[in-house]
Amino acid sequence: MSNEALHSRAKPWTAEELEAIRSEFPLLASSRRPVVYLDNAATSQRPQVVLGAMDAYYREANANVHRGVYGLAVDATRRYENARRAVAEFLRVDDPDEVVFVRGVTEAVNLVAQSFVRPQVGPGDEILITLLEHHSNFVPWQLVAEQTGATLRVAGVTDDGELDLEDFRSKLGERTRFVSITACSNAIGTVPPLETILSWTKAAGVPVLVDGAQASAHGKVHPAELGADFYALSGHKIYGPTGIGALWGASRRLKEMPPWQGGGDMIREVRIDGVDFAEPPQRFEAGTPNIAGAIGLGAAVQFLERLDRDAVLAHEEGLLEALVEGLDARERVRIVGRPARRASVVSFVIEGAHSQDVATLLDEEGICLRVGHHCAQPLLHRLGHRATLRASVAAFNDETEIGRLLEGIDKAMRILGAGNEE
Q: What is the pLDDT of residue 8?
A: 41
**Number of neighbours of residue 349 by Cβ within 10 angstroms:** 21
Asked if 184 is an active-site residue, the reply is: no
Nearest residue to 105 via CA among 295, 253, 301, 238: 238
Stretch 252-270: mean pLDDT, rounded?
94
Instruction: Please tell me which residue in 375, 382, 399, 415 is annotated as part of the active site.
Output: 375
How many angstroms separate the CA atoms of 191 and 193, rounded?
Answer: 7
Confidence category of residue 275, pLDDT binned at 50, 70, 90? very high
Chain mean position to CA 86: 18
How many angstroms separate the CA atoms of 186 and 161, rounded?
Answer: 12
Q: What is the pLDDT of residue 10?
A: 61
> What residues contact residue 139 under an 8 Å CB cut-off, 6+ apart?
none
Q: What is the pLDDT of residue 12?
A: 67
Nearest residue to 131 via CA among 203, 188, 178: 188
Confidence category of residue 309, pLDDT binned at 50, 70, 90? confident
Confidence category of residue 392, pLDDT binned at 50, 70, 90? very high
> What residues contact residue 358 under an 8 Å CB cut-off, 6+ apart?
350, 371, 389, 409, 412, 416
Q: What is the pLDDT of residue 7?
A: 39
Q: What is the pLDDT of residue 4?
A: 37
Task: Name which residue leads in pLDDT, 418 or 263.
Answer: 263
Stretch 72-78: mean pLDDT, rounded?
98
pLDDT one-digit tens code per residue, 341-383: 999 999 999 999 999 999 999 999 999 999 999 999 999 999 9
What are the percentages of helix, strand and coil residues in the chain, rounded to 5?
A: 45, 15, 40
- For residue 305, the surrounding DSSP H or E stretch is helix 291-306
Stretch 308-335: mean pLDDT, rounded?
94
Q: Catalogue all structural domains in the chain, each as residue range(s) with its CATH number.
A: 4-34+308-416 (3.90.1150.10), 51-305 (3.40.640.10)
Question: What is the tally of helices (H) and strands (E) in the chain?
Answer: 14, 15
* Distance set, CA 9 to CA 96, 157, 311, 312 (Å): 32, 29, 8, 11
Q: What is the pLDDT of residue 6?
A: 38
Q: What is the pLDDT of residue 286?
A: 96
Q: Mapping DSSP to helix (H, G, I), strand (E, B) and coil, where does residue 24 land?
A: coil
Nearest residue to 292 via CA among 239, 244, 234: 244
